[in-house]
Structure 1
Amino acid sequence: MIAIARRNLSFLLSNPNSFLCNSNVHVSPSIHFFSTSRIKRILIPSPEICDVLVNKHQFSPDLASLASSRLSKFRDPQRVDSVLSFLKENSFTTAQLQKLVIYNPRVLGFTIEGIISRFKVFHDLGLSSEEIAKMISNSPAIMHSSMENRINPRLSILKGLMGSDDDVARLLNRCPWFVVTDLEKTLIPNVEIVKSCGIPMEHILHLVYAYPRGFLIKPDIMRKSVDKAIEIGVPHTSVVFIYAVGVFSYTSQGMWEVKLKTLRDLGFSDNDIFKMFRMQPHAFSASGNKLKNKVELLLATGKYSVSNIAASPSALGFSVEKRIEPRIQILKLLESRNLIKKWPCLAVVLRSSDAEFIEKFVRPYYDEIGEELITQSCMLRAVRDESIRTDA
């Protein structure tokens, strides 16, 4: 193991970025652990810690060398082993542990008591061990933020806003960034901006949950999002206004212009586009390319026109793979067998639940085309199960 560590050290010193090219662990390029300036100050790896990481916890030799070299203060193999073993006992997977260590290897020098006290705060909210592990691996800064000065004050703000521990836990499951972001500079002023438009607090809380990251943006971006929704004519009192603000909060002006151009090129007028947005802003969450694919797929049927889509903009909010294409294939099959003479309106085709669609367009014709239909459509594998349950 010592020989391996020395070979890895020699290789890493001459090729500091090699790990980024060869590791199977997904790492954001922005993670500070691998910044060039820090790599230049790399210390000598600890063979004993490398041995623990590789042989007991399934780390790669490269990652083990890098991690142990960054532990300048706490170079205790027993502590490293106890920390990783404790985290595994608390539902952390090997991949999640690697993410933590990649973000900041100092976690390997933490005390078990300190980790327990940190976890207790989240357990007290009602989060399970699995949920805490997922939350921390998605936002590793939680492990390194001060409980007294950052995490606890932010949890207090969230409790005051959301109303209960359960609601805070539900929000953190959606977006753990709330405990590592300065809420007094983001969440609080953004809530006030939306509230100033006369939006009921219950609608605002719905938006916080539906678009959590949208409330962690700079307040000036939130103000522009609200102004944009007002400019397009989305009614303030409607829940749709909440969704419209949410869409604009993470859609830059450039991205918005791309979507407008895409729809215009497909034959939609500005009046069509803004009417669609007022009806179904969530559909505009998709990129310009995805919007284009959905519209082209519907137009290619020869059964639906631009005006049909404009009248049912919710169609653009559904997945091509999971809903639009499978249902179109089923209708084409029914038509080819002369089992239907006219295609139903777009809203009926796409807004129906799977159960409703099956009941209306599959079950009546199942004897004629059941096996062929199931073969052609992955979505309707459920048809066979549904038929079995009904027959039973």
Structure 2
Amino acid sequence: MIAIARKNLSCSFINPNSFLCNSNVLSFSTWKVKTLIPSPEICDVLVNKHQFSPELASLASSRLPKVRDPQRADLVLSFLKENSFTTTQLQKLVVYNPRVLGFTIEDIKSRFKVFLDLGLSSEEIAKMISSNKAILNSSMANKIIPNLSMLKGLLGSNDDVARLLKRSPWFIVSDLEKTLIPNVEILKRCSIPTERVLHFLYIHPRTFLVKSGTMMKSVEKAIEIRIPHTILAFIQAVGIFNHTSEGMWEVKLQILRDLGFSDEGIVTMFRKQPIVFSVSGVKLKNKIEFLLATGKFSISSIVNRPVALGYNIEKRLEPRLQILRLLESRNLIEKWPSLSVVSSITDYMFFDKFIRPYYDKIGEECIIKKFVAGKKELKV
């Protein structure tokens, strides 16, 4: 199977791992912070001028380095507020990285100018920095400017760079020479057109921010199970392999086997809908057991329609199943719809097919009222 996949996709990789094993081990680093004494002056600025709670102000000011200038802290926070930072965003930023209170206003402004020049709005910049606070700590000369230059060279325009950064600000501070650039080349070597690679990048940006060795192994596995390399499922599969450790992967596989799925069935499910494997083994198990417990769906129906596992039980599946049970108990339906219909059609289509024709008979039922009330676009 592996040799055939390589031939078809014209890839030059060697020694692919088995699909049923993932050797990517995630590593995490810890950050230890030395506890310092709170600064009354900084606390006063945070509480009285910028709406911080006394507790947050004390926590933030206690983690400041030796240089503590309340006037500079006020200038920084005032500038950020003037540029669309909400109080909540400021609080999260300062508690996570109190050193920002010691930044010069010139340094903050220079960073904003770079992002504004890309075409990002102040609101988008605030959201971007809030979601990736390392941006303010990264060197403009050694990290931010070179990364933006590489992104523009790859994507072609400031607008495209801005579009990507809205999806994932991590590209500003990651080591793109060891991740993005070689990972793009890995996919291109599989004869995936550049425009398709970039399409994958915009849809699943996080997939490209792993070390190239990890990316290569993940691509090998996606090829091994013969997922067509130009479809979205391919990059979804690569992303799952990138971010699932060997131990976590084996746990998921064993859970599925214990529930009665064959290895062949598991591969079929993964081929069709790799994204459902992104959840924990426990969540996967709960959804499968929930569907099997209805007595209406089997393992084979789940294998044939694994997309059902991607939907929320409480918000989507259970309300619909309750209505179908009601219809069945009133002899209004003789046969349940397929798992595909139950899970995938829109709320409006479900209402139109399974509620509207019987509304005169079941409209007063609590579960019907609850369903309709929860879907504002539905009209009787």
The TM-score normalised by the length of structure 1 is: 0.83
CA distance in 2: counterparts of 1:306 and 1:45, whole angstroms: 59
What is residue 343 of structure 1 aligned with on the other side? 336
Structure 2 residue ranges without an equivalent (≥5): 1-27
Cα 1:287/1:66, change in 2 over 3 Å: closer
Q: What residue identity is the alignment partner of 2:308?
A: A
CA distance in 2: counterparts of 1:195 and 1:368, whole angstroms: 59
Cα 1:55/1:312, change in 2 over 3 Å: same
| Contact 1:203 1:239 (8 Å CA) reproduced | no
Moved more, 78-87 or 101-110: 101-110
What is residue 16 of structure 1 aligned with on the other side? none
2:137 is equivalent to residue 144 of structure 1: yes
Cα 1:31/1:304, change in 2 over 3 Å: same
Cα 1:346/1:375, change in 2 over 3 Å: closer
What is residue 219 of structure 2 aligned with on the other side? 226
2:206 is equivalent to residue 213 of structure 1: yes
2:312 is equivalent to residue 319 of structure 1: yes
CA distance in 1: counterparts of 2:306 and 2:330, whole angstroms: 30
Deviation for aligned residue 1:46: 3.5
CA distance in 2: counterparts of 1:167 and 1:328, whole angstroms: 43
CA distance in 1: counterparts of 2:278 and 2:148, whole angstroms: 29
Q: What residue identity is the alignment partner of 1:386?
A: L
| Contact 1:203 1:242 (8 Å CA) reproduced | no
CA distance in 2: counterparts of 1:90 and 1:115, whole angstroms: 11
CA distance in 2: counterparts of 1:132 and 1:271, whole angstroms: 47
| Contact 2:196 2:230 (8 Å CA) reproduced | no
Determine which structure has the larger helix proportion and give its number: 1
CA distance in 2: counterparts of 1:203 and 1:289, whole angstroms: 34
The TM-score normalised by the length of structure 2 is: 0.85
What is residue 121 of structure 2 aligned with on the other side? 128
| Contact 1:191 1:204 (8 Å CA) reproduced | yes
Structure 1 residue ranges without an equivalent (≥5): 1-28
Cα 1:376/1:228, change in 2 over 3 Å: farther
Deviation for aligned residue 1:268: 1.0
Q: Which gives a bigger RCO, structure 1 or 2 (Cα 8 Å, sep 6+)?
A: 2
2:103 is equivalent to residue 110 of structure 1: yes
What is residue 250 of structure 2 aligned with on the other side? 257
What is residue 333 of structure 1 aligned with on the other side? 326
Q: What residue identity is the alignment partner of 1:182?
A: D
Moved more, 130-139 or 367-376: 367-376
Q: How does 1:183-194 map to 2 (within 5 A)?
A: 183-194=176-187
Q: How does 1:345-360 map to 2 (within 5 A)?
A: 345-360=338-353
| Contact 1:119 1:132 (8 Å CA) reproduced | yes
Moved more, 131-140 or 205-214: 205-214
CA distance in 2: counterparts of 1:257 and 1:30, whole angstroms: 24
Residues 148-190 of structure 1: per-residue CA shift (max 9 Å, x gap): 2211211122222233333322322222111011101111111
Cα 1:250/1:384, change in 2 over 3 Å: closer
CA distance in 1: counterparts of 2:199 and 2:366, whole angstroms: 39
Cα 1:188/1:306, change in 2 over 3 Å: same
CA distance in 2: counterparts of 1:142 and 1:335, whole angstroms: 57
| Contact 2:46 2:52 (8 Å CA) reproduced | yes
Match of residue 268, structure 1, among 261, 269, 281: 261
Q: What residue identity is the alignment partner of 1:96?
A: Q
Secondary structure of 2:379's aligned partner: helix
CA distance in 2: counterparts of 1:136 and 1:385, whole angstroms: 35
Deviation for aligned residue 1:283: 1.8
2:324 is equivalent to residue 307 of structure 1: no
Q: How does 1:156-167 map to 2 (within 5 A)?
A: 156-167=149-160
How many correspondences in the alignment? 353
CA distance in 2: counterparts of 1:80 and 1:103, whole angstroms: 15
Deviation for aligned residue 1:352: 1.0
CA distance in 2: counterparts of 1:70 and 1:312, whole angstroms: 52
Moved more, 288-297 or 163-172: 163-172
Cα 1:360/1:218, change in 2 over 3 Å: same
Moved more, 339-348 or 117-126: 117-126
What is residue 379 of structure 2 aligned with on the other side? 387
CA distance in 2: counterparts of 1:228 and 1:302, whole angstroms: 35
| Contact 2:323 2:367 (8 Å CA) reproduced | no
Identity %, equivalent residues:
68
CA distance in 2: counterparts of 1:202 and 1:339, whole angstroms: 51
CA distance in 1: counterparts of 2:65 and 2:236, whole angstroms: 48
Deviation for aligned residue 1:342: 0.4
CA distance in 2: counterparts of 1:199 and 1:276, whole angstroms: 24
Deviation for aligned residue 1:384: 6.1
| Contact 1:374 1:384 (8 Å CA) reproduced | no
